[in-house]
Chains A and B, each alone.
Chain A
């Protein structure tokens, strides 16, 4: 069964850091681009970041560029999002999601498998 399980969310103070992780199983992880998408409480969806299947290319929304870093560890089928300089507006549920097609660059993705998400709260 295709599965994505996020972890690492929590309460952090403004200016702090957090690392989210996503464990992938049930599919050849290294052949798919992956994304992070977030959803603020009661709001819509916002794409945050994507990484190519090879891991060599990364993309970020303007709202997180320079503060967040996406990376993947193919040896253990893990996707990560390092979040620094966190702000109140980063408060959201963060989902990891898989590209629908193989060997994508991450720049043009439909997301066909999603995890249940992990919640990040940035507050003092």
Chain B
């Protein structure tokens, strides 16, 4: 089970966002982060905990291993307000419940 926190993060453009994903058992570094905007499909941002996918801006970074992971957006741009999901591939495939990053 992947538990994401907080459920909602209210921030202003330019602020730093820190999202958490906790696994109920170790997933090593087999964790990804996705961004989903309303009415759109998810977009892969980070894979293997810390690797940015092709075309993902450098303001997105991932860290962690084992059971605790973090997605950091260093300075929020208007287009970053969205829902973020983590996903593990260590034991089949499960997604976290998501964190909504909303404009404060």
Contacts and interface: CB of A to CB of B under 8 A. Distances in A.
A78 interface: no
A50 B44 contact: no
Interface stretch (B14-22, B58-66, B71-79, B87-95): B87-95
Interface string B79-104: 00000010101101111111000000
B44 A100 contact: yes
Nearest to B42: A114
Contacts of A115: 41
A27 interface: no
B41 A108 contact: no
Contact of B97 (A37, A44, A109, A111): A44
B93 A109 contact: yes
B87 A45 contact: yes
A110 B85 CA distance: 12
B96 A44 contact: yes
Contacts, number: 56
Interface of B: 30, 32, 34, 36, 40-44, 47-48, 53-54, 85, 87, 89-90, 92-98
A95 B72 CA distance: 26
A116 interface: yes
Contact of A117 (B34, B41, B96): B41
A111 B44 contact: yes
Contacts of A111: 34, 42, 44, 87
A109 B44 CA distance: 12
Interface in A74-124: 95, 100, 107-112, 114-117
A108 B44 contact: no
Given A44-B98, A47-B92, A47-B94, A112 B87 contact: no
Contacts of A35: 93
A115 B30 CA distance: 23
B47 A110 contact: yes
Contacts of A100: 44, 47, 53
A116 B41 contact: yes
